Chains A and B, each alone.
Chain A
């Protein structure tokens, strides 16, 4: 191999390794905790109104959570001077997208068919599937969080009557817990 090819390959390897490693810090723990707080507020709101699958509340919470996650990830990447749209982050987004798209389509279909009691389990299971798959490119703890969402989703599908508490535990509690872990372990 020509020396310049070797140098190019080595520099690419260094860049790729640093990008892979920076995903540990690019995920904002504070952002994840904020998403957890949004999840708890949404669960509290629908509990008060007595409509656990009120789409106005949950869809608003989902949009707010996506914006919060995007802003916090961007802010952390800037602070750390890390590449925001790295190859790894791109892979994670692509891998998560099918499960989240399926979740959106199923939400529409189940709501149209009047099967709203299945929505909590569907959301939890598909979000868990997406995070577990995306976690393949990141730290093991992310896969753990995805797996816990999957378990909650299965329980919610088998016992729809406890869907709301499970939504609060998942989108509220798990995000808060894992967010706090990232804050503690990966600098914010």
Chain B
């Protein structure tokens, strides 16, 4: 669980920057990982539609996640048309779970601070 600092005013400080997974801290990359966590696999077009982003933006962020081993990419053909499919790897799922715990930790700390106030 992430450590959270509380100021005298009750404001909860961010977890230390290096504790957050910077790779999925970015909104589109977090969206990719979250969408894939809810599905076995999604195609490029489906991911783009869910995240309401552009082809270029999705490509750039998906490549970063692939390089980190968070997602697995399968390229092939269906009815002679190119088809790119993405799946979440166990490493990616663990990263999302840890990130969720960190966010929940912030809220939990904020609730504790409110109760003490």
Binding site for B on A (CB under 8 A): 2-4, 6-8, 10-11, 13-14, 17-22, 24-25, 82, 139-140, 186-187
Asked if residues A21 and B12 are in contact (CB atoms below 8 Å), the reply is no
**Is residue B39 within 8 Å, beta carbon to beta carbon, of the partner chain?**
yes
New A-B pairs, 5, CB < 8 Å, besides A3-B13, A14-B30, A14-B100: A7-B104, A8-B107, A11-B103, A17-B31, A18-B38
Closest B residue to A18 using CB positions: B38
Residues of B within 8 A of A17 (CB): 30-31, 34-35, 38, 50-51
**Is residue B45 within 8 Å, beta carbon to beta carbon, of the partner chain?**
yes
Contact A18 B49, CB 8 Å, known A2-B12, A7-B106, A13-B27: no
Best-surrounded residue of B36, B39, B50, B110 (most CB of chain A within 10 A)? B50
Residues of B within 8 A of A19 (CB): 38
Closest B residue to A23 using CB positions: B50
**Is residue B71 within 8 Å, beta carbon to beta carbon, of the partner chain?**
no
Give which listed residue, A4, A11, A18, A24, contacts B110 with CB less than 8 A: A4
**CB of B28, distance to nearest CB on chain A (Å):** 10
Asked if residues B106 and A4 are in contact (CB atoms below 8 Å), the reply is yes
A2 to B103, CA, bound (A): 13
0/1 string, B14-54, CB within 8 A of A gives 1 = 10000000000001001100111111101001100111000
Interface size on B, residues (CB 8 A): 27
**CB of B58, distance to nearest CB on chain A (Å):** 13
A20 to B104, CA, bound (A): 21
**Is residue B11 within 8 Å, beta carbon to beta carbon, of the partner chain?**
yes
Asked if residues A22 and B38 are in contact (CB atoms below 8 Å), the reply is yes
Asked if residues B50 and A4 are in contact (CB atoms below 8 Å), the reply is no
Asked if residues A4 and B42 are in contact (CB atoms below 8 Å), the reply is no
Residues of B within 8 A of A14 (CB): 30, 34, 96, 100
Asked if residues A7 and B27 are in contact (CB atoms below 8 Å), the reply is no
A11 to B110, CA, bound (A): 15
Asked if residues A3 and B12 are in contact (CB atoms below 8 Å), the reply is yes
A20 to B37, CA, bound (A): 12
Asked if residues B49 and A139 are in contact (CB atoms below 8 Å), the reply is yes
Contact A2 B50, CB 8 Å, known A17-B35, A21-B42: no
A82 to B37, CA, bound (A): 11
**CB of A185, distance to nearest CB on chain B (Å):** 8
Asked if residues A10 and B30 are in contact (CB atoms below 8 Å), the reply is yes
A67 to B42, CA, bound (A): 28
0/1 string, B50-84, CB within 8 A of A gives 1 = 11000000000000000000000000000000000
A18 to B37, CA, bound (A): 7
A11 to B103, CA, bound (A): 7
**CB of B15, distance to nearest CB on chain A (Å):** 8
Contact A21 B39, CB 8 Å, known A2-B11, A3-B12, A140-B49: yes
